[in-house]
Amino acid sequence: MPIHKDIQAYNAAQSAGDQRICDALAKAIDRHVKGAECKIWHRHPVWFLDGNPIVGYHKLKDCVRLLFWSGQSFDEPGLEVEGTFKAAEARYTSDDQIPARDLKRWLKKAIEIQWDYKNIAKRKGKLERLK
């Protein structure tokens, strides 16, 4: 499946090295997260299942950050705690740092393990586990 045009535009706006990272992440996410809606959300590429954000990435000053909204529940090496909810991240400065086998496993867990971010405002900041 081709990368969504808005995500292609986001990736193309990055430096050559960061564009390679973004393209590799987008292709892997599209390949392993079938049926997900993808769009630019809060100015960054994000993939959703049933309206719930599960994975995305964005350019930081010195790297590209891959973010899994429910990643702290994956219990996976290579992912670091991010923020005060359940998110976890990995950061890359080169596309050859992306661990294909780990990424595939993390994406599988992103489908299987989800916290309900879609309704977090309605629940006044309280997250509930889905599935």
pLDDT in tens, 72-96: 999 999 999 999 899 999 999 999 9
Distance of CA 77 to the CA centre of its chain: 16
pTM beyond 0.85, yes or no? yes
Tokens representing 43 are 């100015």
- Coil/strand/helix, residue 110: helix
pLDDT in tens, 117-131: 988 888 888 898 996
Identify the CATH number of the domain defined by range 5-130. 3.90.1150.200
pLDDT in tens, 34-74: 999 999 999 999 999 999 999 999 999 999 999 999 999 99
Nearest to residue 3, comparing CAs of 63, 67, 47? Answer: 47
Element (DSSP H or E) covering residue 1:
none
pLDDT in tens, 103-114: 999 999 999 999
